[in-house]
């Protein structure tokens, strides 16, 4: 797994995808930080994170689309699958490499609450809890993108399908509004409402409380989609 991790991480920076991903994330976070915290004087950095969730729809597909689709198209996956490494090691190596690339702009963003502190009032506990939730949501989206990439040999299809899924999550609260009223409709809204990841940040902003159940849901979904990716690759290995 360690060899796969190093190989994948190196490939992201050799192909400039890693640099482009980090720059894209930091540009938007910087713009919203300047607008909300510096110009308008909001003391919460969590406002910035909540407002920039939409950039995952573009950034994550670019990061994940080549994870398995590229190797499947170029047939290099055959060499990988016959190598003396488990499918679990292959998938985890690729996933951890993508998480590492994503962790870089998140780590750089952790400086912003300290800048707010230097300017006056700051709520560091809320802001760093929001950064944790933001990172967890990103991990879920990356796991979904990796799974979708494992289903196709086309990077374009992988990117578009990931974009579509993340767009649905971005519009989740609005989509739930189309469910009919009544016992069944109310039950579905309550059940599916747990997948409204934006609410994890908004509730943190409104109540200054970290939703542990929501955070555990994110971790569970990461494990679920990593497991599904392993099963997809395992099936191809034996077919």
Tens of pLDDT along 26-36? 999 999 999 98
Q: How many helices (H) and strands (E) does the chain have?
A: 14, 0
Report the phi/psi class of residue 91: left, alpha or beta, with left for phi > 0 and alpha for psi in -120 to 50. Answer: alpha
Instruction: Find all residues with CB under 8 Å of 187, minimum gap 6, and list them.
Output: none
pLDDT for 238: 66
pLDDT for 55: 93
CA distance 69 to 73: 6
98 lies in which domain range? 2-238
Confidence of residue 81 (pLDDT cuts 50, 70, 90): low
Q: Percent of the chain beyond pLDDT 70?
A: 85
Confidence of residue 182 (pLDDT cuts 50, 70, 90): low
Tens of pLDDT along 183-208? 545 656 665 666 777 778 777 777 77
Tens of pLDDT along 36-71? 888 888 888 988 998 899 999 999 999 999 888 877
Counted domains in the chain: 1
Confidence of residue 79 (pLDDT cuts 50, 70, 90): low
- Greatest mean pLDDT among 115-124, 134-143, 191-200 lies in 134-143
CA distance 195 to 214: 8
In the predicted structure, residue 239 carries a pLDDT above the cut 70: no
pLDDT for 83: 67
Q: What is the CA radius of gyration of the chain?
A: 19
pLDDT for 60: 95
pLDDT for 82: 66
Confidence of residue 169 (pLDDT cuts 50, 70, 90): confident
Alpha helix (H) ranges present in 122-211?
Answer: 124-149, 155-170, 172-176, 183-192, 198-207
Whether this prediction's pTM lies above 0.85 is answered by: yes
């Amino acid at each position: 797994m360690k060899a796969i991790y190093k190989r994948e991480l190196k490939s992201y920076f050799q192909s400039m995808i890693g640099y482009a991903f980090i720059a894209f994330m930091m540009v938007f976070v910087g713009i919203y930080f300047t607008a909300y915290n510096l110009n308008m004087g909001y003391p919460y950095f969590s406002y910035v994170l909540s407002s920039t969730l939409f950039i995952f729809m573009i950034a994550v597909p670019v990061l994940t689309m080549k994870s398995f689709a590229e190797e499947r198209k170029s047939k290099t996956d055959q060499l990988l699958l016959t190598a003396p490494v488990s499918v679990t090691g292959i998938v985890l190596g690729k996933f951890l490499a993508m998480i590492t690339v994503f962790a870089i702009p998140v780590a750089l963003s952790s400086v912003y609450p300290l800048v707010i502190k230097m300017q006056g009032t700051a709520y560091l506990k809320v802001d760093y809890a929001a950064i944790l939730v933001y990172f967890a949501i990103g991990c879920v989206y990356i796991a979904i993108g990796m799974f979708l990439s494992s289903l196709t040999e086309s990077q374009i299809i992988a990117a578009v399908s990931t974009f579509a899924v993340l767009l649905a999550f971005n519009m989740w609260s609005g989509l739930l509004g189309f469910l009919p009223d009544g016992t069944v409709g109310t039950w579905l809204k309550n059940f599916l409402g747990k997948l409204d990841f934006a609410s994890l940040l908004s509730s943190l902003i409104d109540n200054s409380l970290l939703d542990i159940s929501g955070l555990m849901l994110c971790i569970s979904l990461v494990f679920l989609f990593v497991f599904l990716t392993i099963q997809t690759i395992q099936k191809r290995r034996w077919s």
